[in-house]
Structures are given as structure tokens and as C-alpha cells.
Amino acid sequence: MKRNKVEICGVNTAELPVLTNTEMRKLFVELQRGELSAREKLVNGNLRLVLSVIQRFNNRGEYVDDLFQVGCIGLMKAIDNFDLGQNVKFSTYAVPMIIGEIRRYLRDNNPIRVSRSLRDIAYKALQVRDQLTNKNLREPSINEISEAMEVPKEDVVFALDAIQDPVSLFEPIYHDGGDPIYVMDQISDEKNQDSQWVEEIAILEALQKLNEREKRILSMRFFEGKTQMEVADEIGISQAQVSRLEKAAISHMQKYIRP
């Protein structure tokens, strides 16, 4: 069966070689001996890894060729820094480095301007994260990054958030051949939920059960924002009476809102 030819940066992806673990280990040993041809073979043998990673960034509007080239830089860094003595697969080590290189590229080309100080903190945090990841073979926590940088964790979080890429509300996140589901479809509107709308109707109906003075007191207290003393002065009764009438009115309303 003939594979479809798809070229990226002049590379026919259908003909990319795949290395076995034994072949990979042999090439790394040769690379450590200074045989540069082994490095080229390791790069070519892991280009499929770059292809699999750049698929995560297909919705960013970037040219695939550009992402592929940047991903290859991350791959070469991973090859140059990989330690055979660590009990970890090369792909496990390389993928975070490829992703990190692509993310740095996307941040540098972000049209939204971020202050230099925030960018410096963010880039330093990412460097420290990569260093701690390589050292501990796991993703470090914000606290660990903060301690290593000697920077408050709040500043680290704020800086990292500032350089995140914006996401369009109309970006599709799922498509099965029918109508796509967009980001905005997954965001709830806490200000206009059905439950809140129903509660507002119930409150308005409960207000109609009160007498005119009770309505006036609650309106002045909760819609006009007046204190009990101000309500008392305007109506011509004591503050204690206003408090008692207010509590009685609220208690009366609750019978209709939560029967």
C-alpha cells in the first residue's frame, strides 16, 4: 500500500525512518564518541516525534513549516543534552523540550505586548522549570520554581499568565462532521443563568405580597442602598421599628420564595 506524500520543509513525511530502541542507544553511544554522523541519523530518526508534537499547535494559525523547523531545534537540543545514564526513554525526555521550544517561538511572535519585566520573569521561570524537569524528571510546582528563582510565587504566576496566548471564543474545539463546538459553548455565563433568572422572578412575585410600607422599606434598603437610620428619618419612625419591619418583610417573602 502506497503512503500519501506530505512534504514539510522539503521533507517527505511518508518516508521518515523509525529507529528501534537498540538503534537509538547505539547511535547515542556513537555520538558521545564524537561521531557527528550519528547526530544526523538521530535527528532524521526522530522527525516523526516532531510531527506528532506540532499537531497540538495546528489551531494557532502558524505555518506548519515554521512550527516544524522550531520543533526540530527543540529535538536537536534534546539529542545534545540526553543522558543515557538516566533510566528514561528519549521520547519522554524530548517531547517537553520540543513543546517548550515551540511555545517560546509562539510567545516571541505574540501580537499582544507584555512589559519587559514580566517577560523576563516569565522566561526565567520557564528556564528554571526546564532545568528542574531535567533534574527531577518531573514537572516542578510553582512553589519549587519560586524558591529556585527567589521570586514570590504570586509574581511567577502573574508573569506566566501574562505571556499565555489568547484563545478566540469562536475557536472550534470539537467537530464530528456536524455543527462544531466552539470555546464559547463551553463557558458558562454566571450572570445570566436560568436559576438566577428564576430566583429574580420569585423575588419580584414575593415583593407583591408585602404591604406598601414594607415594599418601600425594602426598596430603600436593598435597591437604593440606604441605611436603616436613613430609612427611619425619611419614613418618620425609629430605627428599631425599621429593623423589625425589615426582618418581618424578609421572613414573609421567604415563604413564597422557598415554600
pLDDT one-digit tens code per residue, 5-28: 445 555 666 667 778 888 888 998
C-alpha dist (Å) from residue 176 to 52, 69, 110, 172, 179: 21, 31, 30, 11, 8
User: 141, 49, 134, 151: which is closest to 98 by C-alpha?
Assistant: 49
Q: Which amino acid is at 116?
A: R
Measured CA to CA, the distance from residue 232 to residue 114 in angstroms comes to 53
State the pLDDT at residue 76: 92
Count of C-beta atoms within a 10 Å radius of residue 136: 10
User: 9, 147, 119, 127: which is closest to 67 by C-alpha?
Assistant: 9
C-alpha dist (Å) from residue 72 to 89, 101, 193: 18, 9, 47
Measured CA to CA, the distance from residue 135 to residue 83 in angstroms comes to 11
Q: Which amino acid is at 70?
A: V
pLDDT band at 145, cuts 50/70/90? very high
Backbone angles phi, psi at 4, to 5 degrees: -70, 140
Average pLDDT of the chain is 77
Residue with cell 419614613: 235
pLDDT band at 201, cuts 50/70/90? low
Q: What is the pTM of this model?
A: 0.43
Measured CA to CA, the distance from residue 255 to residue 227 in angstroms comes to 25
pLDDT one-digit tens code per residue, 46-60: 888 888 888 888 766
pLDDT one-digit tens code per residue, 85-142: 877 788 888 888 888 888 888 877 765 556 677 778 888 888 899 899 888 888 888 8
State the pLDDT at residue 3: 41
What is the set of domains in the chain, with CATH numbers? 1-109 (1.20.120.1810), 111-170 (1.10.10.10), 194-257 (1.10.10.10)
State the pLDDT at residue 187: 54
